[in-house]
Chains A and B, each alone.
Chain A
Amino acid sequence: MDLLSVEHLSKQYKKTQKQGGFSLQNISFSVPAGYICGYVGRNGAGKTTTLNAIMHLVRPDSGEVLIDGVSFEEDPVSYRRQIGYVGDASYFPKDFTLRDIREILADFYPSFDMKNFDRLAARWELPAKPKIKTYSRGMKVKLMFASVLARDTKILILDEATNGLDPMMRNELLAMLQEYVEDGNHSILFSTHNMEDLQDIADYIFFIEEGRKVFFQAKDELLEEYLLVRGGLSDLTPELTGRLTGIQKNEFGFSALYPVAENCVPPAGLLSEKPTVDEIIVHMLRQMRETV
């Protein structure tokens, strides 16, 4: 069962389009219950626009988003109750306090667990009285997480949410996110630049570039599809070059992705290893840039 289903989502920004700018083009993917999907791409690739369209903070020109089978148009209240969103910047009114936020959450979300919220706030040392504008960036991120983890949601939408967190907190959060999906009834869509996060917890990777889908694949399958090969520049024969993806040359040699297919092994003399998600993305971007 898909908890998040995005169908043919398109959005064009007229102002920037005139300047040869950005549009989101026919994005489709789904995230099944119990899984974490990493949503990756460069700055301006369309990640935040997609997430904002899912959150209904921007209106798409076409396409549909379903949360647990329900669209915003069918039932906006239920749609929004099912989502927990954590952005890269605090979205709380800056003059509000933690107490104000707690009161509002209790008013609007029947599943909001005040004790759990207080427990998280105490654990993360979030003061109740000061205005949110006096919080550090990390504290604001923690407050956003406390506000979504203290109520029952079906899916978490995270937009660069681990930015600004210290390594301890980041590890704690990643563990909490894994715990969140463990029961098989919740999912996470996680947009990030930090590929380490995805390497650790993502089950699927959606890669977007210039508003278009490059691939949407299970992470393990993706990692099995390529080898990262390294060799000297003299090893780069025309035949080998044709097979490689995203060749990166330097004074010592080259590195590139080598597609792993049946009966297809890298030529002798090349060093090969399993790539990370980060390395796959970087080499693919290089390939795309060279193709353009």
Chain B
Amino acid sequence: MTLLKLLKIDIKKARWNLMILVTIPLIGLAVLSERELSWSSGIFVTLYCLFGGIVVAVVPFAAENAEEAGFLEMLPVKPGLSVISHFTFSALCIMVSGGLGLLVGLIASLAGSSPSPLYPGSLNLASLYDSAFGVALLFTAIECLLLTICRYNTLQVLQLIRILPAFVFFFGSTGLLQNMETTSAIFRILNENGLVIFIICAVSFAVLAAVSRGIAVRRGR
């Protein structure tokens, strides 16, 4: 129950940023409606949505600074619970952004996207989506861990931690899709083991959340 109350605060902190999560799929939908669709159109939009998700996911961490954290730190909750709330918020952001991306992808596929002629094997879109969600979760967890460690650092450091993983995720994954022939081995792993990758990343997310909570408890926060 207390976790839900803390989550409500996190949502309040990020309320304007949450607009990004809705805006990106709408832009994606608009772009798709004006272009010739291919099998990868939907997943490109999903990756773009997840990029937005990774950026927004850490707003509750990044929004805090030493001056303003006082009120929230003084709330009567057990140490470490607010960090768990931040992680829960990040997971929700990835779920919402990925879910909206998936929805746009489904609309694209209904409109006539077809499997790629470039890739020789059978294409498993569900597996690719699983991989993308899993990796986005992992990137978010790493961001959250770094922000737990580097709390109250300079604005530049916070922005770097907030933006860099999102860009690495987006350009890394879209680069992989665009160069499937040269990176076919990685692509095959993602295509064939999506669910396993998702589970590994989800477990890593939970482990990193526990580590961050431990750090917060040690600091008495």
Contacts and interface: CB of A to CB of B under 8 A. Distances in A.
A78 B12 contact: no
Nearest to B75: A108
Contact of A59 (B68, B73, B220): B220
A93 B13 contact: yes
Contacts of B67: 89-91
Contacts of B16: 95
B70 A108 contact: no
Nearest to A94: B68
A176 to B, nearest CB: 21
B9 interface: yes
B79 A93 contact: no
B76 to A, nearest CB: 4
Nearest to A55: B74
Interface residues of B, number: 23
A109 B76 contact: yes
A85 interface: yes
A56 B220 CA distance: 7
Given A91-B67, A91-B70, A96 B76 contact: no
Given A95-B13, A96-B12, A87 B77 contact: no
Interface string A75-107: 011111101010101111111100011001001
A168 interface: no
Contacts of A261: none
User: For chain A, which range describes its interface: under 10, 10 to 19, 20 to 34, or 35 or more residues?
Assistant: 20 to 34
A83 B71 CA distance: 12
A80 B79 contact: no
A75 B13 CA distance: 27
A108 B220 contact: no
A72 interface: yes
B71 A91 contact: yes
A130 B111 CA distance: 46
Contacts of A57: 70, 73-74
B77 A93 contact: no
A59 B219 contact: yes
A100 B68 contact: no
B68 A92 contact: yes
Given A85-B70, A91-B71, A93-B13, 17 more contacts: A57-B73, A57-B74, A76-B76, A76-B77, A77-B78, A80-B75, A80-B76, A85-B74, A89-B67, A91-B74, A93-B71, A93-B72, A101-B71, A104-B9, A107-B5, A108-B5, A108-B76
